[in-house]
Homo-oligomer: A and B are copies of this chain.
Amino acid sequence: MTMRAAMARLVYDAQAQIISGLEAIDGGAFYKDPWTYASGGGGLTGVLDDGAVIERGGVNVSEVRGPLTDRMIQVLAIDPERLGLDSHTATFYAVGISGVIHPRNPMAPTVHFNWRYFELESASGVATWWFGGGADLTPYYLDESDCVLFHQHQKAACDAVDAGLYGVLKPAADDYFYLPFRKEHRGVGGTFYMKRSDLPADAWYTLAEGGLGSILPSYGEILKKQSMRAYTDAQREWQLYRRGRYVEFNLVSDVGTQFGLASGGRTESILISMPRHAMWSYNREIIPGSPEAELMAVVTQPRTWVSASA
C-alpha cells in the first residue's frame, strides 16, 4: 500500500471513530457533508452546530491534489528549484484530518488536532514529502489534571516513535500556538510539527495513528467530566471573550488556515475551526488572584505538564 493510501484509510477511519465517540457524549449527530475539490480529490466535512455539549465542532478529512500555485509556494515557504520541481508541471497532494471542538460549558476546554501527509511532485516523479500535525488544548478555566492527562497522551504517542520526540514537539507547540500581538499563547499547548521527513515515513505515520487514537481517551474524558459542571453567566462571557482570541489566532497566525484559504480550499470546511460565538470587549479587566487571572498566567508563560524524559 502506498503512503497516500495508508494515510487516507487512517484519517477516514479515525474521523468515523472520533465522531462516533463525540456523538455518544453529546447525544446529537454530526452532519456529514462530502465534497469534491476542483483540481482533484475531495473530502468529508463532519460538523455539529449548536449541540447540547458541543457548541460547535468539526472533524474534517480531505484528500486533494492540484497544480502548485505561486501563492502556495509562498505560504508553504518552499523553494521549488532547490527541490528539483519543474514549476510548470509541479503538483501537490495532501491528505489529512483536522478537528476542532468548542464545548458549550466554559469549564470544558477546546481541542484542536490535525495530522496530514504532503507530497510535491513534477513530471519526473515525487520530489519531496513530509508529515505535519499535532494537537493542542485551549482551556477557559484551568484544571491542571486536564492539562496533565492531555499531555500524557500526547507524550505516549510520541514515545512510541522516538523517546526524544515529545521534548521537541511540546515546545514547538508552545511556539506555534502564539499570538505575538497579544503576547499570549493560545492555550496550554500539546504537540506540533510541520514538514517533517527526517524519520522514515512509517514513523510519522505511527505518530499520526497514535495521536488520533489518543483523542477520545484524553479529550473525550475531559469533555465528559467538565460538561457536568455548573457555570455562571459571567463564566460563559469569559469563555466567549477568550474565543475571540481563538478566532484571532486562526485567522491571523495559523499557517494551515492561510494555506487553505489561499489554495482555494473549501472555506466552510476550513473555518469550521471558528467558534459558534465569540466576543470582544476593550481592555477587559482581569481581577488578580481570580480563576481568569490563573488562566492568563498559564497562557502567558507555558508550563511543563509532564516530564519530557521517559
Binding site for B on A (CB under 8 A): 31, 33, 45, 47, 49-50, 56, 58, 181-182, 240, 244, 247-248, 251-252, 258, 261, 267-268, 270-272, 274-283
CB–CB B181/A31 < 8 A: no
CB–CB A275/B280 < 8 A: yes
Which B residues are in CB contact (< 8 Å) with A275?
280
Measured CB to CB, the closest approach of chain B to A191, in angstroms, equals 26
CB–CB B282/A272 < 8 A: yes
Counting from the closest, the 9 A-B pairs by CB-CB distance are A251-B251, A274-B280, A181-B261, A47-B282, A181-B267, A49-B281, A251-B252, A278-B278, A49-B282
CB–CB B31/A267 < 8 A: no
Q: What copy number does this chain have within its complex?
A: 2
Bound-complex Cα distance A117 to B33 (A): 48
Contacts known (A277-B278, A278-B278); A268 close to B248, Cβ less than 8 A:
no
Contacts known (A247-B247, A261-B181); A276 close to B267, Cβ less than 8 A:
no
CB–CB B282/A31 < 8 A: yes
CB–CB A268/B251 < 8 A: no
